[in-house]
A and B are shown apart, each in its own frame.
Chain A
């Protein structure tokens, strides 16, 4: 970082203050956050509209998006439907006339279109008109939908969204559902596929896309004209990289935050040790993105809505990945788990002198047991800190950390190496990680995508926060 760049950094990170507020809101929200936010049902009325999205360098970008609320949004509503239950989607074309027709394709599904006019790929809605698509999803999984009309322009402009198909008869699971899951799940957990290894405690969506601002500027300049919109000459060259329609650090603000009215979906990920997170990655743009999950590997469960299974024994066959490649038009589902196993030191602090946050007596230190009656190596559910790796119990951290004056601190650093233990930091440091969880960046490992145009940091990134067991997430 040069002194010259300080100004640019300054343009980006103050937004984190807003994000901090949003996280605080999120943490006090009563809404359950075990499942992905979206629109559930069988019948959807979608409108294609124009509007502006916010990017984290302070700009706003003219875009087109699908909505079912009357307010343009990016990405379109996450449609959550059920296997074997017919789905009807009526699309109304409220785009400016210059945009021409619009449509939706649903890759992976056998769609019947009624109304509208014939297009190259699918029936389309003319300006002001409608078209209706019906299909019955035959396989659960993660899919996407996007415009099938001039997609090089319309998909770039934002006409895309995620489609989640839940297994037939899916209900929220809880800890007693061991009959349907290989491993028990927490309350409001779920099942991604009709397979007992696909159960999860929490699920999150990571829809990846990008913006070439020159195309958006050309569309904006021509939107009030007669059309058709002429794309700028030259090679595609993106400058913004989005996760669920937001550029970092906005990606970490809460779902539905007031500061981002046209980008309702965040991607800040939170979990407790031992929980299994279903990671649904959707490649909605035209570029490939290596999605790197700091913290641990994730087991690839499925690609494009189909599980990766052995042919004869029907067991999981997908690889364990620390970087999930996201392909244009494709989806990937993976299960991520983190326990802190084998770190070689006690993440709850050996001989702790930290006040126990779950005890009202502030003098009590969180000296803790590690009871492992079932012998799986982890502390049992009724131990002080479930999922603690007992082999490392009471083992001190083997190195001395440098003095505070030798260190630079991140906003998501809790001030100590211990889980859930807030440490003292110099004034102005930390503050983005209210419960002092372990924070891990989840991001595109094409690191040039961690910028918003010329401003680092930002772009296609979010954070996973592994919260201490006593921290409420829902």
Chain B
């Protein structure tokens, strides 16, 4: 990245806002906010959460924008962006009642597309009210595309909230759709737009999404084995995971005490997924020719799609390992830092649309504890975890791996990198691409 191009991206954003304002004027002259198709739904209480705790609301825009690749090149994308709560929202009560709320949403959402899309992080037993407002593609006024959110891997999904446009509904420009998810199963998922999936996903409508287990909320000193150690209790808790076979998984143990504040990846019932810090790592890649064709309103090269930017969380190396914000549009870095004797959870998902990818480490092994948001555990309770220095994922797969930094010297740096070596590049620039650093403090 360089400052010149950062400036370019910003410039585009500003001019886009002007364009956005014009579009807003044309499309939204509502008599009042209630009439608008732009609105959010976020109840104070529900039957499941009568106090309001556990109700999570998020408002995303679906639209376009510019991001900067690690070789300094700007690239046109479609994606989601967070719509922040307006500052005067609290006084208003229902934000939909605010004067010109639709205009506010459009101004915030237009040309704000993020790479990756904003991270969605919720807890088991939450209800998530996720509103998607389609703010249109400001750079492509010839497009009238609908958008959706597909929570990839949501268990026992209903088709109406699954986001597949062929099988359900999608939201048109200038309107909002609130998705409802009753969140019951921890794990590392992902989300993306499913409209014209080959195009919208290549263009970047991809984000991290993960769910924390209810095991995190146990009181201090509680016995994990007692809490999640039998099938009936686990099933009643909504869990799919068989109870831990302690004799096999933790020989000699009969109980495992929870310490308040400890975090786990899953309701393991034996503490084996405990981690000190977690990092979402989303594999993705862009085909520059495809994005440029979209930007310049040319026919899209589907058959010739060939990715040239290889990324983790929407950036190529060295930007992946920079904890400085590239821009408002690329806020997620992939720098992994740890102290010695820590357990680091990597939530690795793959949402590229062209190939399988292998991520390797040149340092400590990764212990794979889960795939596709499910703990690796046999029906007899035996943990099927395994240690490896590489994981291979196709698009739409995820793994959770834990790196144990015990015995690693302070000041050392390891790499998490694509062993598909041609992907260690940012378009024409060699040494970059799908790689980041694991630094031991």
Q: Is the CB of B162 within 8 A of A319?
A: no
Q: If the complex has contacts A319-B376, A325-B397, A399-B41, are A448 and B353 also in contact, measured as CB distance less than 8 A?
A: yes
| A319 contact set on B, CB distance < 8 A | 371-372, 374, 376, 384
B155 at the interface (CB under 8 A from A): yes
Q: Is the CB of B142 within 8 A of A445?
A: no
Q: If the complex has contacts A296-B157, A341-B156, A446-B394, are A406 and B48 also in contact, measured as CB distance less than 8 A?
A: no
Q: Is the CB of B378 within 8 A of A323?
A: no
- Measured in the bound complex, the distance between the Cα atoms of B151 and A295 in whole Å is 10
A37 at the interface (CB under 8 A from B): no
What is the minimal beta-carbon distance from B47 to any residue of chain A, in angstroms? 7
| B156 contact set on A, CB distance < 8 A | 295-296, 338-343
| B174 contact set on A, CB distance < 8 A | 406
Q: Is the CB of A290 within 8 A of B396?
A: yes
User: Contacting B157 at CB < 8 Å: which of A295, A345, A400?
Assistant: A295
Q: Is the CB of B153 within 8 A of A297?
A: yes
A451 at the interface (CB under 8 A from B): yes
Q: Is the CB of A448 within 8 A of B202?
A: yes
Interface residues of A in 283-336 (CB under 8 A from B): 288-290, 292, 294-297, 310, 313, 315-317, 319-323, 325
Residue of B nearest to A340 (CB): B156
B418 at the interface (CB under 8 A from A): no
What is the minimal beta-carbon distance from A257 to any residue of chain B, in angstroms? 20
A226 at the interface (CB under 8 A from B): no
B160 at the interface (CB under 8 A from A): yes
Q: Is the CB of B162 within 8 A of A440?
A: yes
What is the minimal beta-carbon distance from A291 to any residue of chain B, in angstroms? 9
Q: Is the CB of A456 within 8 A of B196?
A: yes
Which of B43, B155, B238 has the most chain A CB atoms inside 10 A of its CB? B155
Q: Is the CB of B166 within 8 A of A439?
A: yes
B365 at the interface (CB under 8 A from A): no
Interface residues of B in 40-83 (CB under 8 A from A): 41, 43, 46-48
B303 at the interface (CB under 8 A from A): yes
A363 at the interface (CB under 8 A from B): no
A236 at the interface (CB under 8 A from B): no
- Measured in the bound complex, the distance between the Cα atoms of B168 and A413 in whole Å is 5
Q: Is the CB of B177 within 8 A of A401?
A: yes
A463 at the interface (CB under 8 A from B): yes
Q: Is the CB of B394 within 8 A of A290?
A: yes
A65 at the interface (CB under 8 A from B): no
- Measured in the bound complex, the distance between the Cα atoms of B196 and A410 in whole Å is 12
Residue of B nearest to A314 (CB): B380
Residue of B nearest to A400 (CB): B41
Q: If the complex has contacts A401-B177, A440-B159, A448-B202, are A310 and B394 also in contact, measured as CB distance less than 8 A?
A: no
Interface residues of B in 148-193 (CB under 8 A from A): 152-153, 155-162, 164-172, 174-182, 184
Q: Is the CB of A440 within 8 A of B167?
A: yes
| A395 contact set on B, CB distance < 8 A | 47
Q: Is the CB of B166 within 8 A of A321?
A: no
Q: Is the CB of B303 within 8 A of A457?
A: no
A407 at the interface (CB under 8 A from B): yes
Q: Is the CB of A440 within 8 A of B305?
A: no
Q: Is the CB of A403 within 8 A of B37?
A: yes
Interface residues of A in 387-434 (CB under 8 A from B): 395, 397-403, 405-413, 417, 433
Which of B159, B172, B178, B180 has the most chain A CB atoms inside 10 A of its CB? B159
16 contacts between A and B (CB under 8 A): A313-B378, A319-B376, A341-B156, A343-B158, A395-B47, A397-B180, A402-B169, A402-B177, A408-B169, A409-B170, A411-B166, A412-B167, A445-B396, A446-B356, A448-B305, A455-B302
B: which residues have CB within 8 A of A?
Answer: 37, 41, 43, 46-48, 127, 129, 140, 142-146, 152-153, 155-162, 164-172, 174-182, 184, 194-199, 201-202, 238, 240, 297, 299-303, 305, 353-356, 371-374, 376, 378-380, 382, 384, 393-397
Across chains A and B, which 10 residue pairs bring their CB atoms closest together, nearest first?
A: A344-B182, A445-B396, A290-B394, A406-B175, A439-B167, A317-B378, A315-B379, A417-B160, A322-B153, A447-B353
